[in-house]
Structure 1
Amino acid sequence: MVDASLSYEILMYLDSFYFGLLALVELGVFSYKMVKLGHRYNATWIMWDVGFLLGTLFLETIRIILGRQGSLSKHSWQVIVSVILIFPCMAGIWYLIYIQKTNIYLEIVLCSLELLLQCVQLFYAAIFSVTACQNRNSYY
């Protein structure tokens, strides 16, 4: 059987690098939009987009730190908080894909991969939380 804790830790480690790359690319894309698409991309939309990106970046950082600490120390409460925080993070990525006024294909592809990675993390976090909450003293 696959060790859910190890799989979850690997996914969290991968996501820590991938989300950092995604945030840097998104900031670059926002500056590109401000320069090239200034006539269609006004300051109100820029503030909404940057606000959602920064909020998602903050929550995703907290989620990754809690998830990695929880999976390494076998504390299920940190993983459960990480699982709860994944839903607002997924909503922020969903905003960047579908609700944003102007999208570039690079954004759509990178954000879709992040959303897929978060869905897989959610699956393994649920398995890890169930196995971590079971009684460790009982033998089958």
Structure 2
Amino acid sequence: MKMNASLIYEILMYLNSFYFGMYATFEIGVGVLKAIGLNYNSDDLTRDGCILLAMCIVETIRIVLGRKSSLSNHAWQATASVILTLPSLAIVIYLCCFQTYVLKLEIILSALMIALQGAELVYAGVFICTMCGDNTYT
């Protein structure tokens, strides 16, 4: 049985586009609530806000490139999407473990995001290898 990495990658990117929207909205809302209700140092608040903004930008670009690459079979877009997964993954790990204040719900949602991005990395690698490989027709 042959695995269609392109289809699985497209499904994961589609799922991630919805999950990321929910995750980013949650993180922004929780960030606002933490800024209002907790004793935040202004430097820490600025750093956490800038990191969250960077995640939103990087993840949006990554999802757009990943969705376009699997639909149009452009290897460079898939490769760029995979490369952008690394900083996005690092930011999610920061939000999960190293923020000034971390809630348990943030840990759970971040773990799901990390698992989704990890699966995307695996299937994107397989997808890129199949796109760059020799096409033999029998």
Match of 2:49 in 1: 50
Look up the equivalent residue of 1:133 and give its one-letter code.
Answer: C
How far apart are 1:131 and its partner, in Å? 0.3
How far apart are 1:67 and its partner, in Å? 0.6
Task: Report whether the alignment pairs 1:34 with 2:32.
Answer: no
Aligned length: 137
Q: Could you say what the CA RMSD is over the residues aligned between the two structures, in angstroms? A: 1.0
**Could you tell me how far apart the structure 1 residues matched to 2:32 and 2:107 are?**
17
Match of 2:130 in 1: 131
How far apart are 1:118 and its partner, in Å? 0.2
**Could you tell me how far apart the structure 2 residues matched to 1:116 and 1:101 are?**
23
**CA offset digits 1:94-122 (Å, max 9, x no partner):** 11011111101111111111011000000
**Could you tell me how far apart the structure 1 residues matched to 2:107 and 2:44 are?**
17
Deviates more, 1:117-126 or 1:69-78: 69-78
Match of 1:90 in 2: 89
**Could you tell me how far apart the structure 2 residues matched to 1:23 and 1:47 are?**
17
Give secondary structure in 1 for the equivalent of 2:101. Answer: coil
Look up the equivalent residue of 2:54 and give its one-letter code.
Answer: G
Match of 1:20 in 2: 21
How far apart are 1:139 and its partner, in Å? 3.1
How far apart are 1:29 and its partner, in Å? 0.5
Task: Report whether the alignment pairs 1:99 with 2:116.
Answer: no
Match of 1:109 in 2: 108
Match of 1:64 in 2: 63
**Could you tell me how far apart the structure 1 residues matched to 2:132 and 2:114 are?**
27
Give secondary structure in 2 for the equivalent of 1:16. Answer: helix
Give TM-score scaled by structure 2 length.
Answer: 0.95
**Could you tell me how far apart the structure 2 residues matched to 1:34 and 1:19 are?**
22
Identical residues among aligned pairs (%): 46
How far apart are 1:43 and its partner, in Å? 1.4
**CA offset digits 1:57-115 (Å, max 9, x no partner):** 10110010001100011111110110011000001101101111110111111111101
**Could you tell me how far apart the structure 2 residues matched to 1:99 and 1:32 are?**
18
Look up the equivalent residue of 1:46 and give its one-letter code.
Answer: L
Give TM-score scaled by structure 1 length.
Answer: 0.94
**Could you tell me how far apart the structure 2 residues matched to 1:18 and 1:127 are?**
23
Ranges in structure 1 where 5+ consecutive residues have no aligned partner: none
